[in-house]
Amino acid sequence: MSSVGVYQPFWLGLHQAAINSLLNKNNPYDAIMHLRNMMAFLPEKSRPKDTEIVEQCGKEPEMANDFTIDPEDTYYDIAIRQYLKKYSFLIYDYIGKYIDNEMSSRKL
């Protein structure tokens, strides 16, 4: 059994957990954590480098320390969701490439 078949249940579970965190719990940080866990299952050579993540997604937004700057977290929420959108696309792109490479390298 290839590594794709072994990792598939983990990726599916983490994918569902990321969606649940974002939609039901309204917590984009948990969704990012689940996407990072999905990336951890990729081999080292198939993962995006940290510089590439910063280049394509930017730095991860930090919450304001002062409550008076953004009392309802509107600016922060917009920034973290835009980061999550770019980051999830990048991670799913790398997972798709990895699965495609594994499937194409199999001998039928």
Contact between residue 54 and residue 83 where contact means Cβ atoms under 8 Å apart: no
State residue 1's pLDDT score.
Answer: 47
Domain count, the chain: 1
Mean pLDDT of the 6-17 span: 73
Q: Does the reported pTM lie above 0.85?
A: no
Closest to 28 in 3D by CA, of 60, 70, 53 = 60
Tens-place pLDDT, residues 34-86: 889 889 888 899 899 999 999 999 998 877 676 677 777 777 888 889 999 99
Tens-place pLDDT, residues 29-40: 888 888 898 898
Mean pLDDT of the 5-24 span: 75
Q: Report the distance separating Cα 23 and Cα 31, nearest Å.
A: 9
Domain region containing 54: 3-105
